[in-house]
């Protein structure tokens, strides 16, 4: 089910639809970018119900536009008049200046666009893209060792009453 996040003063309301937790394990994030999505009505209704998955999805630049590939949005059960492909490429909405900058960055060796979460902000569907570099196996092992060490430190503090 979608998760709600709001500010202390109630100035914004963000409804998280889905997250790509595996991406943080697989990539180093250099930058996070918020982009709008071009969706059809039944897709928006499915997103509001939390019926989406970012597993194996990625962003790609095609003809000076950015598209999101392999994002699965389950078809809305009551939209019989539209037969939509759940994995169709979806155009992302960014300013031209941001797109040009991302084109330059993704042409560098090792950079890719990875979606980290899909959410609603002020009633609009948004996707958070990360400009990311892939982790090597030893990087992943190092991160796991650091997490385990931190967990042990926290447990020791609790035992000693800190």
- What is the dotted CATH code of the domain comprising 3-135? 2.40.280.10
DSSP state of 94: -
Domain positions in the chain: 3-135
Question: For residue 6, is pLDDT > 80?
Answer: no
pLDDT of residue 8: 47
Q: Annotate 22-76 with DSSP letters as a single string.
A: HHHHHEEEEEEEEEEE---HHHHHHHHTT-EE-TT-EEEEETTEEEEES-EEPPP
pTM of the model: 0.74
**Which tens digits make up the pLDDT trace of 107-137?**
877 788 899 999 988 888 899 999 888 777 7
């Amino acid at each position: 089910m979608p998760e709600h996040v709001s500010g202390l003063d109630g100035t914004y309301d963000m409804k998280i639809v889905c997250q790509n937790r595996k991406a943080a394990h697989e990539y180093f994030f250099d930058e996070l970018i918020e982009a709008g999505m071009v969706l059809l009505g039944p897709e928006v209704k499915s997103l509001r119900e939390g019926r989406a998955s970012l597993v194996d999805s990625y962003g790609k630049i095609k003809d000076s536009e950015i598209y999101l590939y392999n994002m699965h949005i389950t078809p809305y059960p009551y939209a019989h008049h539209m037969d939509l492909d759940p994995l169709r490429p979806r155009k992302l909405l960014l300013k031209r200046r941001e797109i040009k900058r991302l084109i330059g960055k993704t042409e560098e060796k090792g950079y890719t666009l990875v979606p980290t979460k899909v959410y609603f902000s002020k009633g609009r569907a948004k996707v958070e893209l990360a400009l990311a570099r892939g982790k090597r196996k030893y990087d992943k092992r190092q991160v796991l060792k650091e997490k385990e060490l931190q967990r042990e430190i926290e447990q020791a503090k609790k035992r000693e009453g800190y």
